Amino acid sequence: MTAATALTSPSDHSLAARLDAVRALMRGAQLDALWVRSTDAHLNEYVPLEESTRAWLTGFTGSVGEALVTHDGAWVFVDGRYWLQADSEVQAFNVVKVPLGTAPEQAALEQLQSVLTKRPKLRVGYEPDRFSQFELERVQKATAGAVWIATDPSLVERARGPIARESKPLRALDEGELDLGSQQKLTVVGEALAKESLAGLFVQTLDEVAYLTNLRGSDLPFQVTFRSVAYLSGGRLLVGVAQEALSDAVKAARPAIDFVDLAAFDKALALRVKKARVGYDPKLTSARWVQRLKDSGAEVVALPSPVGPLKAKKGKKELKAMTAAFARADKVIEGAIAWLCEEVSKRKVVSEADFAAEVRERFFASGATGLSFDIISAAGRNGAIVHYSKPNPKRIIKQGELVLLDTGAYYDEGYATDLTRTFLVGPKSQKASAEQKRYYTLTLKAAIAGMRARIPVGTRGDQLDAIVRAPLWAQGLNYNHGTGHGVGINVHEFPPRIGTTGTAALEEGMVFSIEPGVYLERFGGIRIENLCTLERITGVPGYLQVRPLTFSPLDQRLIERKLLNEEERAWLAQYLRGRAPK
Q: CA–CA distance from 190 to each of 200, 233, 582 (Å)?
A: 8, 7, 39
How many Cβ atoms from other residues are within 10 Å of residue 142's Cβ?
A: 14
How many Cβ atoms from other residues are within 10 Å of residue 30's Cβ?
A: 10
Mapping DSSP to helix (H, G, I), strand (E, B) and coil, where does residue 365 land? helix
DSSP β-ladder status, 123-126 and 33-36? parallel
Mapping DSSP to helix (H, G, I), strand (E, B) and coil, where does residue 118 land? helix
| Same fold: 15-160 with 171-311 | yes
Fold of 15-160: Creatine Amidinohydrolase; Chain A, domain 1 (3.40.350)
Q: What is the pLDDT along the chain (582 residues), one digit of tens a residue?
A: 544 333 334 444 589 999 999 999 999 999 999 999 999 999 998 888 889 999 999 999 988 899 999 999 999 999 887 888 899 899 899 999 998 678 899 999 999 999 999 888 899 999 999 999 999 999 999 999 999 999 999 999 999 999 888 889 999 999 999 999 999 999 999 999 999 999 999 999 999 999 999 999 998 889 999 999 999 999 999 999 999 999 999 999 999 999 999 999 999 999 999 999 999 999 999 999 999 999 999 999 999 999 999 999 999 999 999 999 999 999 999 999 999 999 999 999 999 999 999 999 999 999 999 999 999 999 999 999 887 878 999 999 999 999 999 999 999 989 999 999 999 999 999 999 999 999 999 999 999 999 999 999 999 999 999 999 999 999 999 998 999 999 999 999 999 999 999 999 999 999 999 999 999 999 999 999 999 999 999 999 999 999 999 999 999 999 999 999 999 999 999 999 988 887
DSSP structure class, residue 129: T
Q: CA–CA distance from 172 to each of 247, 248, 262 (Å)?
A: 10, 11, 19
pLDDT value at position 46? 81
DSSP β-ladder status, 524-527 and 517-520? antiparallel
CATH number assigned to the domain with residue range 171-311, chosen from the 4 options 3.90.550.10, 3.40.350.10, 3.30.450.70, 3.40.50.2300 = 3.40.350.10
User: Inter-axis angle of helices 133-142 and 104-118, to 10 degrees?
Assistant: 30
The alpha-helical segments, DSSP class H, found in 427-499 are 434-451, 461-473
> 423: which strand partners?
403
Four-residue CA torsion sign, 303, 458, 501, 146? positive
Indicate yes or no: pTM above 0.85: yes
List, in sequence order, every beta strand (DSSP E) within 79-235. Answer: 94-97, 123-126, 147-150, 171-172, 200-203, 215-216, 228-233
pLDDT value at position 226? 96
pLDDT value at position 578? 87
| Amino acid at position 63, single letter | S
pLDDT value at position 351? 98
| Amino acid at position 384, single letter | A
CATH of domain 313-576: 3.90.230.10
State the Cα–Cα distance between residues 232 and 252, nearest whole angstrom: 19
Domain residue spans in the chain? 15-160, 171-311, 313-576
